[in-house]
């Protein structure tokens, strides 16, 4: 879990949620991808996921602050998140 907290955008609470879905390292997170990570988190805490969490995870994967994600990637993630919430 400590290695996750070293990533941009990942604080203690998000690191704990990732740990609960067996994502323990940056490598685990990168291999899983942001969309799959948010799906896994939603299975254990559907009320605790939001678009900003998805952006944070993607930013961590890209090793940048989520505010700096490319506009097109944010748009894609937003569409994905809206689809996820309709299920």
Domains of the chain and CATH, by start: 2-86 (1.10.150.20)
Q: What is the pLDDT of residue 1?
A: 54
Q: What is the pLDDT of residue 56?
A: 98
Among all chains, which residue has been given the structure tokens 């894609």? 76
- Residue 69 token pair: 């994600």
What pLDDT was estimated at residue 14? 96
Instruction: Provide the pLDDT for residue 15.
Output: 96
- CA dist 53 and 34 (Å) reads 9
pTM for this model (two decimals) = 0.93
58 close to 69: Cβ distance less than 8 angstroms: yes
Low-confidence ranges of the chain (pLDDT < 50): none
Helix, strand, or coil here: 17?
helix
């Amino acid at each position: 879990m400590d290695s996750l907290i070293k990533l941009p955008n990942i604080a203690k609470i998000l690191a704990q949620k990732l740990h609960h879905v067996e994502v323990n390292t940056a490598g685990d997170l990168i291999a899983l991808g942001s969309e799959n990570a948010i799906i896994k988190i939603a299975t254990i805490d559907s009320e605790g996921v939001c678009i900003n969490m998805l952006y944070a995870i993607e930013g961590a994967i890209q090793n940048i602050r989520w505010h700096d994600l490319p506009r097109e990637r944010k748009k894609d993630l937003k569409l994905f998140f809206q689809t996820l919430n309709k299920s």
